[in-house]
Amino acid sequence: MIEGVLLKGYGGFYYVYAEDRVWECSLRGRFRIKDQDFLPGDRVRILPEGNNKARIEGAEPRLNSLTRPSIANVDQALLVFALTSPKPDLNLLDRLLIQVTCSEIEPLIIFTKLDKYLTEAPPDDSLAKSSIPDIYRRIGYTVFEVSNKTGIGITELRKCLEEKISVLAGPSGAGKSSLFNALSDGKQLKTGEISQKSQRGRHTTRHVELMVCAGGLVADTPGFSSLFLPKMKREDLATYFPEFDEHRNHCRFSSCLHDKEPDCAIKAAQENGEISGTRYDHYRIFLQEVIAAERRY
């Protein structure tokens, strides 16, 4: 019996990465009877039967699971945004940060196209070259500025993927595919040959697949595709803005929503430059969405 990680399911068969190879697995009878739901990322125990074939004998409890994409045991989300072409959509970034944090998954913010951005920026515009990434660094997020083309920052980021399950998220055009190729040095796991040969039916996991990358596993789908905020109470939204923490207890009212109330410490901190104005604007936009959602349910 050996342990591995489920990469994908296809037509009733499951492909498990264990001992540096891919095993084509069937299910033990009791799992078929129970109609067991397996997801990429599930940690399973398999019994080899020869010729890279095996049978799934058991599964470990999940640490977490997502529906978009359908994947389990995610350690971190790589939120990928270009510094230019297109300019980063910070509203979307802040939404994704809330979604990831709500799912208890560690976010890593990756700003790509650094080489192009530095070329386009005026020679004396040194502050602007790092202002957006630095906003998020000061808050406490892990931030990388990389160039898929020149390799700047790739080595440092690659270390963060080792022995972890990661998902990619971000808008189209941000360079997610190029980033994956840069991180994996073009050495993608060869599972396509098995799938084409099998021809055994539809993909059972909505085409979500984990691939070996930089010593870890990365989902080859965009990830958190919903633009809607998670269900929450209006007073909970501020907890998803870590930079608010040191100011929240200084508001005049303990029930302050940091919107239109007088003597709000969050608003004062924003006016003093201690909190990003853009982040605060997004908080207020999100607050109205959360309130509207509360009324619906």
Q: Which residues are annotated as a binding site for Zn(2+)?
A: 251, 256, 258, 264
Close Cβ partners of 235 (under 8 Å, ≥ 6 residues apart) = 255, 257
Q: What is the rounded end-to-end Cα distance, in angstroms, of the chain?
A: 48
How many CA atoms, within 13 angstroms, populate the side-chain half-sphere of residue 27?
A: 18
Binding site residue list for GTP: 112-115, 170-178
Distances (CA, A) of 266 to 246, 247, 258, 284, 288: 9, 6, 6, 12, 17
Binding site residue list: 112-115, 170-178, 251, 256, 258, 264
